Copies of this chain bind each other. A is one copy, B any other.
Amino acid sequence: MPNSKKFFNDLSSIVDETLDGLARASNGKLRLLDSHRAVIVSAMPDHKVGLLIGGGSGHEPLFAGYVGKNLADAAVAGNIFAAPTPDIIVEATQAIDKGAGVLYLYGNYAGDNMNFDIAAEMASEMNILIKTVRIWDDVASAALDHITDRRGIAGDLFVVKVAGGAAALLGSLDEVYRVASKARDNTRSIGVAAAAGTFPETGKPTFELPDDEMEIGMGLHGEPGVSRSKMMTADAVANDMVSRILSDLPFQAGDEVCVLVNDLGSTSSAELLIIYRRVDQILHQRGLKIHDTLIGSYCTSQEMAGFSISLLKLDDELRKYYDLPVDSLALVKG
């Protein structure tokens, strides 16, 4: 689909207008900061640990769609596929620091790491306590013994949900850091792409893939995956992807998990449900217990055709924070 088939105004104002729309849709619950690149909750209690998420834009509703009750307190947005700049991160950090410090939670990419680190140094000079948890849930992006080289993809959502709950209930940054790290360590994901999205500013597809092929492990920006093949049936793709996830943590009989089947852009709800059907069959065969299931567009790459599967393994502590009701643009749980 050519770039011209997207509904935008000025290409250079995509991110600002997206966040403006989001703040308006919140009916007063969220507000924009001066840079127009950060969204924060309108009312934040004193002494609460701040939870700041963010990254490059282009993956909507990630990240700003997860700012809200018992979720993140703020999200910062870079340009499309580019990590946010340090000034914006600092602006949001100051806005949500209530004296208890701020946890930075984001996907593990070179650009994000460096920009958030620069911001953390700047915030420290302002005497704001900062801790950082980088999310590296994509099992396709590096071997397990190089886990800190892995990319962060849709599993971000699980970590944000647990960390949001922890930040709401726990008073100390160290404790929130500990729980968020545990949620990160218990999360695994993998994606598959069948067709590229287009990068709006250039109108070019983010990768090339022959008409009858797909690629398992493809990243959110078109980063290469682990296995390119002819298109497979829904069940066969799910089998392959789930087995890569299960063996990685590893997940075992008796484990209790949350499952996310996430559309990367233009994969239909029907396809996601058909994929979920097979995931559910496999997990039950393996003796896992499914605590919660999310199916939909949570973390995208423009109109990429494809999806990702994420699993979060719960323990009593994680379940407690996961189960808190949440309310944001893209995630509501009663």
Q: Which residues of A contact B (CB under 8 A)?
A: 1-2, 4-9, 14-15, 17-22, 24-25, 27, 57-58, 60-61, 65, 194-195, 211-212, 214, 231, 233-235, 237, 263, 265-277, 280, 290, 292-293, 295-297, 300, 302-303, 305, 307, 325, 327, 329-330, 332-334
Contact = CB atoms under 8 A, between A and B. Distances in A.
B330 A18 contact: no
5 contacts: A5-B195, A21-B272, A27-B293, A267-B303, A296-B297
A154 to B, nearest CB: 14
A334 B71 CA distance: 15
B7 A194 contact: yes
B233 A300 contact: no
B24 A271 contact: no
Given A24-B277, A237-B7, A270 B14 contact: yes
Given A266-B265, A303-B268, A276 B211 contact: no
Please state the number of chain copies in the assembly.
Answer: 2
Contact of A269 (B27, B231, B293, B330): B330
B5 A274 contact: no
B334 A302 contact: no
A51 B14 CA distance: 41
Given A4-B231, A8-B234, A9-B235, A24 B280 contact: yes
Contacts of A61: 269, 296
Contact of A300 (B6, B268, B295): B268
